[in-house]
Amino acid sequence: MMVHQIHKNMKTAVFVVLFLCLQASLAWAAASHSSGDLYYLAQKSYYQLKKSPDKQKFRHHWENVIQKFSKVVKHYPRSQQAYKAVFTMARLYAGLSGISKNSKDLNQALHYYKKVSSDYSGGTLTDDALFESAQIYKDKKDFSSAAKTLKTIYEKYPKGDQAKKARLEYKRLASVSQVGKIKKQPTTAKITQPKRLKKVRPAKVVVKQAVLAKPKKPINKTTLAKQNKKQDKPVAKLVVTAKAKLPAKTPVKKALFKKSKGGHLFAPSSSKAQTPTIVVDAGHGGKDQGAKSAKGLHEKDINLTIARHVKTILVNRFKYRVVMTRKDDTFIPLKERSEIANNRNAELFVSIHANAAKRKSAHGIETYFLGTTHNDDALATAARENGELVYSVKDDQVQQILASLITTTKINDSSRLAGTVQENLYKSSKKKFRELKNLGVKEGPFYVLHGADMPSILVEVGFLTNRKEANMLSKPDYLYRLASSIAEGIHKFMLDKRPTI
């Protein structure tokens, strides 16, 4: 018994030591990660949850993602990543409340949205957080707090993207409040009026007035009928005129939403300034031929063909404004390509390329957004696409440049855009090319993306160094399918565009 007890105590001691070591290692791991690392780990979990309807059914998946964002706030409470993490936690609780129908989750969402505006200096998400708070107040029937919050948005953040919407919402709430006051007034009058009539209306006076008001001559019924007919005619004309005016107004409401020939819903704008501009960049060109297949197919030609199709589809099917960095076989330096997008105040920048590798077996499609990476294949792809520029700057300087750009560029929107385009591109192209491989979304140090002020991605549509993929990329119908898939992915992103997190 004594020996058994000793063994039991030893097992317990070993378990405690292992547990403490595990806790210490987890704490060390959290501390060793930068705020950016912790945030991107949480962000990836967020997008995995968003793409999985099955995971969204269970509360613990939501809570796991929220917990990852809370680590960012805990370890780096004053960082920019913490600011975005708090906003995302609010969004997660709001999403969870829609499934759980639990008011506590909605209260938590409101708590974190308020925390964004109260605990952090104003950024691009603050007015979004306030607007979401106002919507929650409206759902809770707290119209006074909703109106107050909306007023704060357009007074304190007049240049924010929510200012116009906030002002309109505030006016709607004000009009609803006025209607409520008007409706209450007649009921008060009806209650007080009968009391006055009872006090001042003697029965005898009414009888005498009735006798005095009696007409001396009987009314001729024929004459009365003629008078009624004369009175009815102009009234009938007025009614017809009013009805005739109504159809002229109705097309304005119907024109708010239209369908293209393919059945796609879009909202036509009244002016070019309101239509989103998308810049499509056909990679390489002119003296820069890019990759080359064994049969002499040049990447620059494939890129231009796909880019032209993408433009046509975005303009004709989805009604966007599209600017191409090159329309023909022209050489344009990488630095100038993103400048074209910035000068046009574009919403998105999409660069189209075909891939190459030393291994002839390498194949598949992938989409990149700007970022640092230790992936050898991604670095090799970036080195090839960057051309001479990659050799003019030392690697440590490249990393420093990218580190500073990550804080100013819309990396998160770029990541979402890349994910949407890649998913749509793979699903659609797979139907035509069964052996197509999904290489997924990756980060990479691409110079063509680093100067863009808007969400930007680089799409690699296949490997020219792979015999089968090169053969597919030589077929016009396959190139059109690739272009259509990219355009549809862009459109899906634009429809689901939300504040950067």
**What's the pLDDT tens digit per position in 27-81?**
444 444 677 778 878 888 887 888 788 888 899 999 999 999 999 999 999 888 8
Per-residue pLDDT for 471 more than 90? yes
Q: What's the pLDDT tens digit per position in 234-273?
A: 443 333 333 333 334 333 333 334 444 444 444 444 444 4
* Confidence check: pLDDT of 499 > 80: no
Structure tokens at 126: 């603050």
- Range among 148-157, 334-343, 481-490 rated most confident: 481-490
Question: Quick check: is 391 in a domain?
Answer: yes
CA torsion sign for 422, 427, 428, 434 is positive
pLDDT of residue 312: 95
Helix (H) or strand (E) segment spanning residue 469: helix 467-472
pLDDT digits (tens, 9 = 90+) for 175-198: 765 544 444 444 444 444 444 444
Over residues 201-224, the mean pLDDT reads 47
Least confident of 112-126, 136-150, 157-171, 189-203: 189-203
Identity of the amino acid at 309: H
Residue of 350, 328, 332 lying closest to 341 (CA atoms): 350
Task: Let me know if residue 394 belongs to a domain.
Answer: yes
Q: Are 417 and 348 in contact (CB under 8 A)?
A: yes
- Domain span at residue 309 reads 269-495
Beta-bridge mates of residue 350: 280, 457
Q: How confident is the model at residue 11 (pLDDT cuts 50, 70, 90)?
A: low
Percent of the chain with pLDDT over 90: 37
Examine the pLDDT at 299 and tell me if it is beyond 70: yes
Q: Which of 94, 134, 96, 137 is nearest to 112 (CA)?
A: 94
**Residue 464, domain member (yes or no):** yes
Question: Model confidence at 486, in pLDDT bands (50, 70, 90)?
Answer: very high
- When the pLDDT of each residue in the chain is averaged and rounded to a whole number, the result is 75
Is the pLDDT at 90 greater than 90? The verdict is yes
CB 70 within 8 A of CB 62: no
pLDDT at 253: 37
Residue scoring higher pLDDT (16 or 386): 386
Average pLDDT over residues 358-373: 86
Res 223 pLDDT > 90: no
- Beta bridge partners, 458, equal 351, 368
421 occurs within a structural domain: yes
Mean pLDDT for 438-466 is: 86
Does residue 385 form part of some domain?
yes
- 277 versus 173: the higher-pLDDT residue is 277
DSSP code for 270 = S
C-alpha to C-alpha distances, 138 to 91, 95, 336, 453, nearest whole angstrom: 17, 16, 47, 35
Q: Which of 296, 346, 298, 306 is nearest to 326 (CA)?
A: 306
Look at the chain and report how many structural domains it folds into: 1
Backbone φ and ψ for 265, nearest 5 degrees, come out as -85, 135
Q: What percent of the chain has pLDDT over 70?
A: 64
Confidence of residue 398 (pLDDT cuts 50, 70, 90): very low
168 with 134: CB under 8 angstroms? no
Residue 203: predicted pLDDT:
45
CATH of the domain at 289: 3.40.630.40
Sign of the CA dihedral with 16 first, then 20, 26, and 29 last: negative
Instruction: Answer yes or no: is 422 within a domain.
Output: yes
- pTM score, two decimals? 0.47
- Within-domain flag for 63: no
Instruction: Please tell me the distance from the alpha carbon of residue 265 to that of residue 257, in angstroms, as a whole number.
Output: 7
Residue 376 one-letter amino acid: D
Residue at 209 is within a domain: no
Across-strand partners of 366? 460
Tell me what pLDDT residue 363 has: 93
How far apart are alpha carbons 336 and 332 in whole angstroms? Answer: 7
Q: What is the 3-state secondary structure (H, E, C) of 233-251?
A: HHHHHHHHHHHHHHHHHHH
Q: How many CA atoms lie within 13 A of 118 on its CB side?
A: 8
Q: Residue 304 corresponds to which tokens in the numbers above?
A: 């231009």
Q: Are 344 and 455 in contact (CB under 8 A)?
A: no
pLDDT confidence tier of residue 466, bands split at 50, 70 and 90: very high
Average pLDDT over residues 194-213: 44
